[in-house]
Structure 1
Amino acid sequence: MRQSKRAYWRKLDNAAKLFPATSNERDTRVFRFYCELRETIVEELLQKAVDKTLKKYPVFLSVMRKGLFWHYLEKSELRPVVREENKEPCSNIYVKDKKSLLFEVTYYKKRINFEVYHALTDGTGATEFLRELVKNYLVIAHAEEELADMPLLTKEITVADQEDDGFNKYYSKKGSAGKQKKKKAFQIKRPNKEFGELQVTEATMSVGQLLKRSRELGVSMTVLLSTVFLCAIHEEMTKLQEHKPVVLMVPVNLRKFFPSSSMLNFFWWIEPFYQFGGEDDSFEAVLAHVKTFFKEELTQEKISENMNTLISLEHHPILRLAPLELKNLCINAGARFSERDTTAIFSNMSVVSMPEVYEPYIRRFGVFTSTPKVELCMCSFRDTITLGFTSRHDSTNIQRNFFRILSELGVDSVIEEPEYPPERHERSIGAMFFKGFSFACLVLIVAAVAVDVCLKMKFHWPLWAAGGVASMWMALAIGFSKRHNLLKNAMWQLIAVPVMCILWDVFTGWKGWSIDYVLPAVCVLVQLSMFIISRLQSHTAREYMIYYVMASGYGIVVPLVLMLVHCVSLTFPSVICIGVSFIMLMALVIFKGRELKEEMQKKFHL
Structure 2
Amino acid sequence: MFGSKRAHWRKLDNAAKIFPATSNKKDTRVFRFYCELKEPVEGKALQAALDKTMEKYPVFLSVMRKGLFWYYLEKSELKPVVKEESEPPCLNLYIRDRKTLLFQVNYYKTRINFEVFHALTDGTGAIQFLKELVKNYLLIRHEADGLPDVSFTEEDMTLQDQESDGFAKYYKKPKKGSGKKVHSFQLSGARTGYGSLNITEGLVSCRALLGKAKEYGVSMTVFLTAVFLCAVHEEMSRRQRKKPVVLMVPVNLRKYFPSSSMLNFFGWIEPGYLFPEEEYSFGDVVESVKAYFKEELTKDRLGQRMSSLMSLEQNPLLRIAPLEIKNLGMQLGVQLAKDDVTAIFSNLGVVSLPREYVPYIRRFGVFTSTPKIELSMCSFEDDLVLSFASCFQDQNIERNFFRILKGFGLEAELLEDRFPAKKTPEYKGLRFFQWFSFSCIAAACAAVMVNLIFTPSLRWSVYVIGGALSMWLALALGFFKRHNLLKNAVWQMLLLPAVCVIWDLCTGWHGWSVDYVLPAVCMLIQLSMLIITKVQKLPVQEYMIYYILAGLIGLLPALLLALGAAQVVYLSVLCGGISFLMLTGLLIFKSRDMFTELYKKLHF
The two structures have a TM-score, normalised by structure 1, of 0.97
Q: Residue in 2 aligned with 1:13?
A: 13
CA contact (8 A) 1:177 1:308 kept: no
Shift of residue 67 of structure 1? 0.5
Matched residue type, 1:135: K
Q: Residue in 2 aligned with 1:144?
A: 144
Which SS does the other structure have where 1:357 is aligned? helix
Q: Residue in 2 aligned with 1:571?
A: 569
Q: Residue in 1 aligned with 2:186?
A: 187
Q: C-alpha distance in 2, partners of 1:306/1:331?
A: 17
CA contact (8 A) 2:227 2:404 kept: yes
Which SS does the other structure have where 2:114 is aligned? strand
Matched residue type, 1:171: Y
CA contact (8 A) 2:231 2:398 kept: yes
Matched residue type, 1:40: P
Shift of residue 243 of structure 1? 1.2
Query: What percentage of residue pairs aligned between the two structures are identical?
Result: 55
Q: Residue in 2 aligned with 1:42?
A: 42
Q: Residue in 2 aligned with 1:480?
A: 479
1:503-562 per-residue CA deviation (whole Å, 9 max, x = no partner) reads: 111111110000011111111111111111111100111110000001101111x22442
Which SS does the other structure have where 1:16 is aligned? coil
Structure 1 residues 22-33: aligned runs within 5 Å: 22-33=22-33
Q: C-alpha distance in 1, partners of 2:432/2:178?
A: 48
CA contact (8 A) 1:254 1:268 kept: yes
Q: Residue in 1 aligned with 2:510?
A: 511
Q: Does the alignment pair 1:596 with 2:586?
A: no
1:556-581 per-residue CA deviation (whole Å, 9 max, x = no partner) reads: 1x224423432112232111111110
| More divergent stretch after superposition (410-419 vs 289-298) | 410-419
Matched residue type, 1:577: C
Q: Any stretches of 5+ residues in structure 2 without a counterpart?
A: none
Q: C-alpha distance in 1, partners of 2:179/2:594?
A: 45
1:176–1:194 Cα change, 3 Å: closer
1:479-511 per-residue CA deviation (whole Å, 9 max, x = no partner) reads: 000000000000000000000000111111110
1:276-308 per-residue CA deviation (whole Å, 9 max, x = no partner) reads: 235663211111111000000000001111111
Which SS does the other structure have where 1:106 is aligned? strand
Q: Does the alignment pair 1:107 with 2:107?
A: yes
Q: C-alpha distance in 2, partners of 1:456/1:600?
A: 56
CA contact (8 A) 2:195 2:425 kept: no
Shift of residue 194 of structure 1? 6.3
Structure 1 residues 447-596: aligned runs within 5 Å: 447-556=446-555, 558-596=556-594
Structure 1 residues 198-597: aligned runs within 5 Å: 198-277=197-276, 281-556=280-555, 558-597=556-595
Shift of residue 177 of structure 1? 4.4
Q: Residue in 2 aligned with 1:134?
A: 134
Which SS does the other structure have where 1:493 is aligned? helix
Matched residue type, 2:167: F
Q: Residue in 2 aligned with 1:172?
A: 172
Q: Residue in 1 aligned with 2:90?
A: 90
CA contact (8 A) 2:87 2:425 kept: no
Matched residue type, 1:582: F
1:376-432 per-residue CA deviation (whole Å, 9 max, x = no partner) reads: 000000111001101121101000100111111222211111431111013312112
Q: C-alpha distance in 2, partners of 1:434/1:239?
A: 47
1:92–1:415 Cα change, 3 Å: same
CA contact (8 A) 2:193 2:391 kept: no
Q: Any stretches of 5+ residues in structure 1 without a counterpart?
A: none
| More divergent stretch after superposition (146-155 vs 207-216) | 146-155
CA contact (8 A) 2:2 2:58 kept: no
CA contact (8 A) 2:558 2:575 kept: no
Q: C-alpha distance in 2, partners of 1:263/1:428?
A: 33
Matched residue type, 1:589: L
Matched residue type, 2:161: D
CA contact (8 A) 1:125 1:264 kept: yes
CA contact (8 A) 1:195 1:425 kept: no
Q: C-alpha distance in 2, partners of 1:177/1:404?
A: 43
Shift of residue 272 of structure 1? 0.3
Matched residue type, 2:306: M
Q: C-alpha distance in 1, partners of 2:194/2:30?
A: 19
Matched residue type, 2:238: K
Q: C-alpha distance in 2, partners of 1:216/1:285?
A: 14
Q: C-alpha distance in 1, partners of 2:208/2:90?
A: 31
Matched residue type, 1:571: V
CA contact (8 A) 1:196 1:392 kept: no
1:147-205 per-residue CA deviation (whole Å, 9 max, x = no partner) reads: 332223355321111001000011112x4341420011111001113666101000010
Q: C-alpha distance in 2, partners of 1:230/1:543?
A: 49
Matched residue type, 1:26: K
| More divergent stretch after superposition (285-294 vs 429-438) | 429-438
Q: C-alpha distance in 2, partners of 1:536/1:5?
A: 26
CA contact (8 A) 1:176 1:306 kept: no
Q: C-alpha distance in 1, partners of 2:85/2:241?
A: 42
Shift of residue 244 of structure 1? 1.1
CA contact (8 A) 1:177 1:306 kept: no
Q: C-alpha distance in 2, partners of 1:345/1:235?
A: 17
1:380–1:42 Cα change, 3 Å: same
CA contact (8 A) 1:364 1:381 kept: yes
Shift of residue 262 of structure 1? 0.3
Calculate the aligned-residue CA RMSD, in Å. Answer: 1.4
Matched residue type, 1:324: L
CA contact (8 A) 2:2 2:8 kept: no
Shift of residue 137 of structure 1? 0.3
1:177–1:432 Cα change, 3 Å: farther
Q: C-alpha distance in 1, partners of 2:258/2:582?
A: 50
